[in-house]
């Protein structure tokens, strides 16, 4: 039997010691009961002490939901990111702390992200003086806001520890500003923007090659070797949603059908649709999301006419593209440029 080209929400490809035990400990210190935190999962208390104990995303999401239900505590994801960064059992985080600079740290985080955040995948969006790292969800029913905040918290804690502040970071959220916005501003300590075209981190390029204060060449090399060794146990695989997203992105301006995607994956049409149902994926919605993201990226990188954008995204004419863009964002492309300061005229 061949190894699947993607991982499922039920595959045990997360180590318990890589985030789950951190979150459980944080919740318990705030009064949550462990047996209630594990309710609805396949995890037993004895599993938590096993060095290579594993967990699937379905159980990970259930733990997050249980924490939120028991505690109603908005600071948990912020604290989780910092806790993971300083967890001595996470080789990747030890490598981040001892890396030569932020550029190297981000490369490692991108390469080995499956060891701590396999349910998300990045979009690298270089701009003139900043690097924008967008974050996409690998699962339809993930508590994505919680996971994004935890990951952003890890990165900003790393930057603050190395440079003494995180003034060169800006955090972006698709969601509109809500009641917890004050917690975002307080815990992150850097600029936070809501109602953005993407969830992500914007980093000033001047930070990327600035030497880290805590760089340690020997510890960095050792931690990086540990990451490579761990990848033999936890192979890097995309989620099915990420796999479809990347295939469609490469195919633009051509549009993949579910049948053509099934053929690429060497599945029958019925087997592929069954996989989509099990992962709660709408194929057409995912293809639409690829076109939306690509349109916004093109508008941020350069000025294109609606006709050019329509051709690049596989629309029959610019009117259909314009209608789709307004459905995505609520505004027309020219207003998008103005709203985000992207006009070049």
My answer on whether 226 and 249 are in the same domain is: no
My answer on whether 108 and 185 are in the same domain is: yes
SS3 of residue 294 by DSSP: helix
Q: Which of 282, 279, 280, 292 is nearest to 249 (CA)?
A: 292
Res. 204 pLDDT band, cuts 50 70 90: very high
| Digit-coded pLDDT (tens) for 217-234 | 999 999 999 999 999 988
My answer on whether 205 and 291 are in the same domain is: no
Phi-psi region of 99 (alpha: psi -120 to 50; beta: other; left: phi over 0): beta
C-alpha distances in angstroms, 215 versus 180, 224, 233, 317?
35, 13, 27, 53
| Distance, CA of 193 to CA of 126 (rounded, Å) | 18
**Residue 5, in any domain of the structure:** no
Question: Residue 197 belongs to what domain range?
Answer: 14-233
Pick the last residue of a domain from 182, 200, 233.
233
**Residue 288, in any domain of the structure:** yes
| Distance, CA of 72 to CA of 67 (rounded, Å) | 8
Q: Count of domains in the chain?
A: 2
My answer on whether 283 and 220 are in the same domain is: no
324's tokens: 């789709």
**Residue 156, in any domain of the structure:** yes
Q: Residue 252: which CATH number? A: 1.10.10.60
My answer on whether 170 and 244 are in the same domain is: no
| Digit-coded pLDDT (tens) for 298-330 | 887 777 899 999 999 999 999 999 999 999 988
Res. 74 pLDDT band, cuts 50 70 90: confident
Residue 86: phi and psi, rounded to 5, are: -100, 15
**Residue 4, in any domain of the structure:** no
Dihedral sign computed on CA atoms, order 328, 330, 336, 339:
negative
**Residue 256, in any domain of the structure:** yes
């Amino acid at each position: 039997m061949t190894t699947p080209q993607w991982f499922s929400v039920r595959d045990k490809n997360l180590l318990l010691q890589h985030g789950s035990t951190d979150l459980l400990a944080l919740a318990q210190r705030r009064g949550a009961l462990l047996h209630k935190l594990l309710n609805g999962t396949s995890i037993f208390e004895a599993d938590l002490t096993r060095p290579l104990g594993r967990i699937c995303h379905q159980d990970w999401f259930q733990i997050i939901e249980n924490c939120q239900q028991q505690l109603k505590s908005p600071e948990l994801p912020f604290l989780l990111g910092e806790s993971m960064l300083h967890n001595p059992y996470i080789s990747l985080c030890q490598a981040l702390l001892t890396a030569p600079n932020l550029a190297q740290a981000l490369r490692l985080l991108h390469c080995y992200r499956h060891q701590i955040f396999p349910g998300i995948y990045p979009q690298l969006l270089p701009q003139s003086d900043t690097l924008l790292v967008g974050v996409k969800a690998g699962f339809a029913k993930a508590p994505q806001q919680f996971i994004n905040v935890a990951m952003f918290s890890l990165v900003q804690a790393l930057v603050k520890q190395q440079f003494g502040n995180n003034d060169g970071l800006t955090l972006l959220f698709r969601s509109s500003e809500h009641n917890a916005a004050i917690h975002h501003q307080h815990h992150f300590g850097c600029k936070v923007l809501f109602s953005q075209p993407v969830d992500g981190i914007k980093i000033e390029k001047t930070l990327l090659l600035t030497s880290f204060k805590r760089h340690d060449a020997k510890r960095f090399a050792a931690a990086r070797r540990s990451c490579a060794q761990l990848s033999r146990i936890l192979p890097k695989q995309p989620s099915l949603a990420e796999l479809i997203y990347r295939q469609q992105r490469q195919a633009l301006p051509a549009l993949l059908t579910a049948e053509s995607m099934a053929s690429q994956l060497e599945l029958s049409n019925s087997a592929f649709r069954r996989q989509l149902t099990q992962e709660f994926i709408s194929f057409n919605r995912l293809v639409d999301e690829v076109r939306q993201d690509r349109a916004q990226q093109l508008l941020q990188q350069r000025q294109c006419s609606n006709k050019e954008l329509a051709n690049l995204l596989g629309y029959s004419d610019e009117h259909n593209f314009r209608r789709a863009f307004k459905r995505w964002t609520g505004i027309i492309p020219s207003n998008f440029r103005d709203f985000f300061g992207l006009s070049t005229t």
